[in-house]
Every structure is written in C-alpha cells, then in structure tokens.
Amino acid sequence: MTFSKSLNEMLTSSNLDSEKLEGLIRIAIAEDLDGAVDVTSVATIPEEQSAVAEFWSRKKGVIAGIPIVCAVFEICGITDYEIKKSDGGVVSHNSLLLVARGQTRSLLLAERTALNFLGRLSGIATLTKSWVDEVADTKVAIRDTRKTTPGLRELEKYAVRMGGGENHRFSLSDAALIKDNHVLAAGGVAKAFKLVKEKFPDLPIEVEVDSLQQLREVVEAGADLVLLDNMSIEECRAAVEIVSGRAKLEASGGLILSNAHAYAKTGVDYLAVGALTHSAPVLDIGLDLRME
C-alpha cells in the first residue's frame, strides 16, 4: 500500500519508516479481526452508513502519534481526516485532536488500533516532558534506553523526542555500549574498550563503569562517553571532577523524577531513563462518534 502524499511527507519529516509502520498497523488490525469480521458492527451498522470520528484528550499531556493515527485510517480506507493538534504539542483536558469522516464500520475498525498507538505514544511523550522540565535549568539531556516494547522501538523513541528527550542508540549495531558482562568476558574494562575500538574504529563507543577507578581507566584509555552505573549523587559529582571535560558522562540506574534535578546538578551530561518507555502510563484519549 502507498500512503497519501501528504502522509508520506509527514512520516518522512518525523523520521518514521512508512513500510515498517504499515506492517505494525496491519498486525494490530489482523489481531483485532482474528481472520473474521467485526461481528458487532456488521450486525448493527448498515454497510454504507457514514459518520464522523473525533479524537479528544481526556487529560492534559503531550501528544505523540497523530501521523500513526492517520496511517491507521488510510489502511482502513479512510482518507478524509483533519489534524487539529500536532505531535509535540501540550494539550489540555478535553482538547480536540483529530477529526475523520467515512464509513462507520471503517471508523470503528480503526478505532482501537488508533487509540492504542496514540495513547501509548502520548503517554511516553508526556512522561518524558516531565523529566525534561524537571532539569530544565541545567545542561543535562534526558535520554531513553533500549527498554522498549518489542516491535515498537522506532515509535516509542519518536515519542521520547516529541516529549523533548533525546534518543540513545536504536540497536546493537549503530553504537557500542560496553557493559559489565562484556568487561568480564574481555578481562577488564580498559581491555574491552581497546578491543571494540580496534574492531569498530568508526562507531561511537560508550563504556559502563561502576566505580571511580574504572572511570579513570577508561578515560585514560581514550573513552569519550562513559555511563556511570548506579552511582550516587556524590559519586557522580566526583566523576565530573575526575573527567574534567575529557569525556561525556551519563548517569544511569537509581534515577527517579524526585532526584533527577540533584543528579543533573552534579554536572553530568545525560540522564539515562528506562522508565520513559517501560513505565509510561497511557494518556487517556477517547474517540467520540457522531452521525452527520
């Protein structure tokens, strides 16, 4: 299937892969239909009946996923829709987000899949913004992790960007992250860094350390990005002093919203927050149907 020109442009500008997105949506719709039909709609709604579907926010939050909703509608045969609120925008309770017109059965077929994507992604964007706002008076950036829902990484990381956060690596191949198990297997943190640097000299390399001594070793070895694993606020502050600008530092582990500002004030460059994607509550969004 080819999406409309305007939707393809929207997806491209959002760095979303239209082919992957179509596959995800078709899986979701197939899951809903389970090889048959929407028995309730077929029984109660005349085939040619038309209606209007309106998406409304039930709570304040940051919207993410409007292009995905449009893609769901197009796959379900609905091409007449009007976007009222764009991704990345903060909406209040009871804000109109999008209006779609078409056959009632098609609108209802699209409803749950569209709401599942929109609520999930908007929840991530909303949670991300709360972290970003918490450290707004510091230089630190809020970054996500690979703790994403299988199959939804591209979309969930997109939602993080819509909330003002930054993306860490997308896969195991676009950057190296040397963790404790790699260090154990390689025989030391400095040796692990050296081996990765020799094998993949052009890739970004981040090294995880759990002590200030390991930090000294990897910085001396030439690491320019170091992850401080489960270090206290005091240890992070000491790490900043040790590095003295020679490498970027990322704090990870033990971070909650209430201590985010304290960690940010230590002088680290990033806070790695897995909760952005693995623990974000769904933003309450509803679809109201009305007859024209």
Active site residue ranges: 112, 147, 179, 208, 229
Q: Kindly report the backbone phi and psi dihedral angles of residue 277, in degrees, each rounded to the nearest multiple of 5, phi listed first.
A: -110, -30
CA angle 22, 36, 289 (to 5 degrees): 70
How many of the other CB atoms lie within 10 Å of CB of 238?
A: 16
In whole angstroms, give the CA distance from residue 27 to residue 22: 9
CA 114 to centroid of chain Cα atoms: 17
Task: Tell me the CA distances in angstroms from 276 to 195, 207, 250, 267, 272, one per residue in order.
Answer: 32, 22, 16, 22, 9
In one-letter notation, the amino acid at residue 265 is K
Report which of 228, 230, 229 is spatially closest to residue 239, judged by C-alpha positions.
228
